[in-house]
């Protein structure tokens, strides 16, 4: 009785298998790295910023992008939870052992994001990015479709072992280093953006610019001792993009401001205060509860501005 010859996979089958594994690996790393900045920005409570002056506009005049940002960013806890739902699956995708779980957990999140982006008419680039990320997620799910359908209990099983021990070690180190480097880079980038852009002006715009944070009422304004009645009890808005606006002013009539929370100094540039010319005011400020007093110079004249917060809500 002759022994049956062992059946070996053809070269074409082996080649297709290698291409599939390579495509899957590229897709999961691309999806993980693509999702990390969105997850981290939400964990740091940064993504859904809405400028103070926006809240002065009628609801019907607000764009869909503004309404969406104001809704999603209303609750810091909700935004943090969204960040967890995006960041954790992205981390899982970096490791071969947990990539399947990451793909499964990320799908409902990305599907919801894509629906919001398209049906609420967000920016074209945002819609394209969400569609690409969702397509990568679907590809990863289809790659393991048989496993998901037939063996749901084996989602966390280890991948097929690599015979070569050095290759196994190299693969694990690569996954660890990729995740650590990506996480470190994104965290440093976000921290730098916050530290250099938002922290110096926190006294003016609040900790989170939502629920009218950054909206002020002018109690009084004096230039060389003379009260400027034209701006008394008028709303003044300081936005996170360093624009400032008086009530009813358009973008063309808005000015700019700079501040340094460490030295308590400020500068307001090119704002029309209802005077004949636009004034630049620079000097120092102090915060007393819900009131802020700015003392400085407007050209060659002394200037004093007294403001109080206008309905900042619970986010200070």
241-252 tens-digit pLDDT = 899 998 876 666
User: Which residue among 154, 182, 202 closes a domain?
Assistant: 202
The total of other beta-carbon atoms located within 10 Å of residue 67's CB is: 13
Q: What is the pLDDT of residue 230?
A: 85
User: Lowest-confidence range among 51-55, 123-127, 236-240, 310-314?
Assistant: 310-314
How far from the centroid of its chain's Cα atoms is residue 262's Cα?
A: 25
Q: Which domain holds residue 229?
A: 211-309
Residue with tokens 């990451």: 102
Q: Higher pLDDT residue, 190 or 71?
A: 71
In the chain, the percentage of residues whose pLDDT exceeds 70 is 87
Q: What is the pLDDT of residue 315?
A: 47
CA distances from 187 to 43, 106, 229 (A): 10, 21, 47
Tell me the HSE value of 222 on the side-chain side, using a 13 A CA sphere: 9
Q: Nearest Cα to 95, choosing from 152, 167, 33, 171?
A: 171
User: Is 160 in the same domain as 78?
Assistant: yes
Going by their DSSP bridges, the two strands 243-246 and 301-309 should be labelled as unpaired
User: Is 143 in the same domain as 242?
Assistant: no
Residue 3 lies in a domain: no
Q: Higher pLDDT residue, 171 or 40?
A: 40
Alpha-carbon gap, residue 99 to 310, rounded angstroms: 48
Residue 6 lies in a domain: no
Q: Is the pLDDT of residue 70 over 80?
A: yes
User: Is 273 in the same domain as 167?
Assistant: no
The total of other beta-carbon atoms located within 10 Å of residue 197's CB is: 12
pLDDT in tens, 133-179: 999 999 999 999 888 877 665 555 666 666 677 877 887 888 888 88
pLDDT in tens, 272-306: 886 656 789 999 999 999 999 999 999 889 999 99
Alpha-carbon gap, residue 92 to 88, rounded angstroms: 6
User: Lowest-confidence range among 24-33, 46-55, 56-65, 199-208?
Assistant: 56-65
User: Is 271 in the same domain as 131?
Assistant: no
In the chain, the percentage of residues whose pLDDT exceeds 90 is 50
Residue 1 lies in a domain: no
User: Is 249 in the same domain as 280?
Assistant: yes
Q: What is the pLDDT of residue 108?
A: 97
Residue 101 lies in a domain: yes
User: Is 236 in the same domain as 305?
Assistant: yes
User: Is 252 in the same domain as 190?
Assistant: no
Q: Higher pLDDT residue, 153 or 91?
A: 91
User: Is 49 in the same domain as 147?
Assistant: yes
Residue 4 lies in a domain: no
How would residue 113 be classed by pLDDT, with cut points 50, 70 and 90?
Answer: very high
How would residue 316 be classed by pLDDT, with cut points 50, 70 and 90?
Answer: very low
User: What global pTM score does this model have?
Assistant: 0.68
User: Which residue among 150, 167, 202 closes a domain?
Assistant: 202
Could you tell me the two tokens for 95? 């490791």
CA distances from 10 to 13, 15, 39, 79, 112 (A): 5, 9, 43, 51, 42
Mean predicted lDDT score pLDDT of the chain:
86
User: Is 156 in the same domain as 220?
Assistant: no
Buried b / exposed e along 156-173 (16+ C-beta atoms within 10 A): eeeeeeeeeeeeeeebee
User: Which residue among 169, 202, 235 closes a domain?
Assistant: 202
- Compute the C-alpha angle 10/11/15, nearest 5°: 120
Alpha-carbon gap, residue 208 to 48, rounded angstroms: 9
Question: Residue 243 is part of a domain; what is its CATH number?
Answer: 2.40.128.10
Helices 124-143 and 99-119: angle between axes, nearest 10 degrees: 150
User: Is 197 in the same domain as 59?
Assistant: yes
User: Lowest-confidence range among 38-47, 99-108, 159-168, 203-212?
Assistant: 159-168
User: Is 177 in the same domain as 217?
Assistant: no
Q: How many domains does the chain have?
A: 2
User: Is 45 in the same domain as 125?
Assistant: yes
């Amino acid at each position: 009785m002759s022994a049956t010859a062992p059946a070996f996979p053809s070269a074409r089958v082996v080649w297709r298998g290698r291409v599939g594994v390579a495509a899957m690996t590229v897709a999961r790393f691309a999806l993980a790295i693509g999702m990390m900045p969105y997850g981290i920005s939400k964990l740091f409570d940064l993504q859904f910023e809405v400028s103070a002056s926006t809240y002065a506009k009628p609801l019907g005049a607000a764009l869909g992008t503004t309404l969406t940002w104001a809704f999603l960013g209303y609750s810091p806890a909700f935004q943090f939870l969204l960040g967890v739902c995006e960041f954790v699956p992205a981390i899982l995708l970096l490791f071969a052992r947990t990539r399947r779980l990451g793909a499964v957990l990320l799908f409902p999140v990305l599907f919801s994001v894509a629906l919001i982006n398209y049906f609420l008419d967000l920016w074209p680039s945002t819609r394209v990015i969400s569609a690409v990320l969702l397509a990568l997620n679907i590809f990863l799910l289809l790659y393991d479709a048989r496993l998901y359908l037939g063996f749901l209990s084996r989602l966390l099983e280890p991948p097929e072992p690599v015979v070569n021990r050095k290759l196994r070690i190299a693969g694990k180190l690569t996954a660890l280093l990729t995740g650590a480097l990506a996480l470190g880079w994104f965290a440093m980038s976000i921290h730098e953006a916050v530290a250099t852009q938002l922290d110096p002006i926190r006294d003016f715009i609040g900790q989170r610019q939502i629920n009218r944070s950054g909206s002020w009422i002018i109690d009084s304004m004096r230039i060389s001792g003379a009260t400027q009645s034209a701006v008394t009890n008028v709303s003044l808005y300081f936005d996170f993009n360093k624009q400032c606006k008086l009530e009813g002013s358009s973008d063309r009539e808005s000015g700019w401001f700079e501040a340094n929370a460490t030295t308590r100094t400020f500068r307001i540039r090119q704002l029309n205060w209802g005077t004949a010319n636009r004034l630049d005011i620079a000097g120092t400020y102090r915060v007393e509860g819900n009131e802020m007093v700015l003392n400085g110079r407007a050209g060659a004249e002394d200037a004093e501005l007294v403001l109080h917060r206008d309905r900042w809500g619970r986010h200070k």
